[in-house]
Amino acid sequence: MAKILDFQKKRAEVIEEKRQGLERLMFKNVLGAYAVMEENGDIFPITLNDISYDGLSFEIPYNKRAAEKFSQGTEIKLRMYFSKHSFIPVFINIRHSTEILGFNRAKFVRYGCEFDKSLTSFKAMESFIDFMYQFAEFSTHDEGENKAFFI
């Protein structure tokens, strides 16, 4: 029996893989994120893994004090930095966490979170997320075939 290939589904899978790769590149090189605990002013740098319209995933090195503060159901204010001094405040709710072993057996905790979409600042975040999806769909890779000449 012949297998039917769904091109739309395959295209969507390729775009999703590309989007996640581009997100990781952007998160590591462009976008900074810090979790701010409002009650006592603690600031924790986090590593963003994935972002969607509904929420995001991040991880931090295992730390007992942080693990107590980042428990399921906790609302956290994030500062999403797009430049050295400018950020968009976003609130998230932690839905789940998983301990993982990273490189050299370092222990991390990965969190899955849901956005609080009721804040007006989420509108800017939503535009950024939309950009990430569009960029993944329409961007192409520069293979170095074109050179810039300076006169």
| pLDDT tens, per residue, the chain with 151 residues | 666 767 777 777 776 776 665 555 555 555 666 666 555 677 778 888 888 899 999 888 887 777 777 888 989 888 888 777 888 889 999 999 998 887 788 888 899 999 999 999 899 999 988 888 887 778 777 777 777 677 6
Q: What is the pLDDT at residue 131?
A: 85
pLDDT for position 93: 95
> What sign has the CA pseudo-torsion 22, 100, 37, 74?
positive
Q: What is the pLDDT of residue 92?
A: 92
Q: What is the pLDDT of residue 116?
A: 95
Structure tokens that stand for 11 in this block? 């295209």
- Tally of CB atoms within 10 A around 113: 25
Domains and CATH numbers, the chain: 23-138 (2.40.10.220)
As a whole number of angstroms, the distance between CA 98 and CA 88 comes to 27
pLDDT given at position 39: 56
Q: What is the dihedral of CA 85, 86, 89, 93, to 10 degrees?
A: -60
